Structure 1
């Protein structure tokens, strides 16, 4: 949102300037926010999905490499005209200027920004699937707030916005910021960042095995795989390699058992739960 504020501030100065040179100068300044905002939106979505790139400086530098290159090219546009090719007054008046866009703009500015926004939006959609149901309201709210910048930028680039030459994208991001502010300050939803179930499942010291009625392994965590003596990828989808466990687990909906592994002397403390669905999770 700091980048959006910088973007909007540069746009305000560009709209209020009357000379062509001043307008071009402020357009270059606002590119700091224009190019940084989509990448920061992606980083927000990555952090919300517990994918931490901030500690991996190589990936962080890679994400900002193209925006930095485009910013430098915009600063020296007079020498190559790869970002802006022409400037003309808008037929809508109001001191607006229509910029002709070059290949660097379409590929490095618009194209790369759309890519960052698309990846960020897909990550928010991903969270709808992986997070518990009571956290889906957060993801849906974030998704809806991300729709506004998409619409604003499409209207600007297509020339469909009534005031030609006015970019409504920073105003759209301001709407996104307002939604975030409501989430943070009033609903306080974003303080409750959900913990990925997959990580908790993988990290548990107890072995967990989920089997169906035919005792085929539907899911298993690393501890369970170690107890069964095979890698998890070899066990999933195959029959439980301990048929002596099957009868004990299928007898009742919930059981606490102590069984000795045949020919080993190892005693397992088993808590078996039979769910209402065809799957029967067993934990030991």
Structure 2
């Protein structure tokens, strides 16, 4: 074997050495599925480069042919390894499964077998002969149909890898488009070189440039991988998850350089991807020195950033990124903007205080009525207790339950305008006196309508004596026109009133009260409300006897 120090074989040998170094460095330092695929691709390139260098420098036809066959261990399997790695690199990990790769390897494995048995069938090469090159003799082939099948299959895989890279890199706003274009060129280079060789586009070049191109590609890509620790922190399913997150996501390598970030983070720092990727985080976030100080520790904390006198609140989470061996490879920083939540919390606190104040005012109103009419002292709150229990049993929304309780507590507030001698008169009322009593719902409405309650309290108080058949007062409303809250309060009011003593009669008892609402179910009172009320009062958990003056 003669060794010519030519400019063709030396780069191949150097490329082989570089591939071995990359394989060692990648495999030892980065034991993950992405590293495994990259190692496989580098191994195939190195094997192809070394065998091709030995083929070019061999003297005899037989030795050259031997090394040409050896090359196919790399030639046939490299497109699968390369496509799998590029797919993994762009975050489509769900496609990288052993059964899929095994299927992709069927044609390459068959091709290797056919290469070594070509003399029996000539499916790969119909003829093989030597031609004189510029510095040495080179093998020349007349290809068989299986060669073209393998070539087409390999081109499809390479095109698939290129397409996945285009979608993964140029479809992501946070990727550096200049570097993505460089990587795309490097991935396309072997494809172009192989087309030139197989189809003999340049007749002066009668040897295969593809291994050279793959070595160049490997160098460019490995530089990116090693410099930015991409095998450690990328890929992830970025486009599907991180790209669309409203949270700010940043990834730092061990040198505190920014190696990845999502569009939300880009908008926050107001820089382009080209300006920030690969830059020290202290430089990128120079406008927020307080933020950088939090990056030193791994913790979850709340931070405040001030921009143009405006405060921005963030939930800051910092976590380590480690490889399978537990070795630290970088840090993941997630900032969730909670400024709006802080404002909402503050408003809710204010509203809570206002609601307590409103509740106090309502209770004060109720006490004013009870002080004027001692016989009905506690009546409103007992009605509110029954109405509240009915509303809960009906599974009404919390806001509606609260509304019913508030309205029930002051449903008789209009009685403050009724003379005490009528309210406390023993015996039966005259028609005129009863007509006066019947004005209290409208009076209550007029008192409450000027207060801007967050609930329709005034309307409910006005309707709490309306009946389903229109026989109630003050408006004589029919069932569909009566608010549900009023339908509940009227039933609770009847039950409480009949169960307790009044100036004009002794207490009739709970049994009579239940008979009354059951008898007039669907006539005076809403059917569903009556059914629920009967169920509530029949339940042992509801102690109706406690709804007396002492509890009130």
Give the alignment's TM-score, normalised by structure 1: 0.66
Instruction: Tell whether the 8 Å contact from 1:121 to 1:146 is kept in structure 2 after alignment.
Output: yes
Aligned match for 2:130, one of 85, 89, 92: 89
**1:265 aligned residue:** 397
TM-score by length of 2: 0.35
Is the alpha carbon distance of 1:194 and 1:43 closer, same or farther for their aligned partners in structure 2, counting shifts above 3 Å?
Answer: closer
Indicate the structure whose relative CO is greater, using CA pairs within 8 Å and at least 6 residues apart: 1
Change (3 A) 1:157 1:65: same
Instruction: Indicate if the aligned counterparts of 1:127 and 1:139 stay in contact, CA closer than 8 A.
Output: no
Residue 153 (structure 1) aligns with: 194
Deviation at 1:51, TM superposition (A): 2.1
Alignment of 1:91-240 (within 5 A): 91-92=132-133, 94-108=136-150, 110-186=151-227, 188=229, 191-193=232-234, 195=236, 196-200=238-242
Q: Separation in 2 of the partners of 1:190 and 1:135?
A: 17
Report the CA distance shift for 1:22/1:49 in structure 2 as closer, same or farther (over 3 A).
same
The SS at the match of 1:18 is coil
The answer to whether the aligner puts 1:60 opposite 2:101 as a matched pair is: yes
How far apart in 2 are the matches of 1:120 and 1:266? 56
Q: Give SS of 2:186's match.
A: helix
Aligned partner of 1:79 among 76, 101, 120? 120
Aligned counterparts of 1:72 and 1:147: Cα–Cα separation in 2: 28
Match of 2:86 among 40, 45, 51: 45
Q: In structure 1, what is the Cα distance between the partners aligned to 2:200 and 2:81?
A: 26
- Paired position in structure 2 for 1:214: none
Q: What SS does structure 1 have at the residue aligned with 2:137? A: coil
RMSD: 3.0
* Change in CA separation of 1:188 and 1:137 when aligned onto 2, cut-off 3 Å: farther
Gaps of 5+ in 2: 1-41, 247-339, 349-394, 400-552
Paired residue total: 214
Q: Compute the displacement of 1:147 (Å).
A: 1.9
- Runs (4+) of structure 1 exceeding 6 A deviation are 201-204
Does the Cα contact within 8 Å between 1:4 and 1:33 map onto a contact in 2? yes
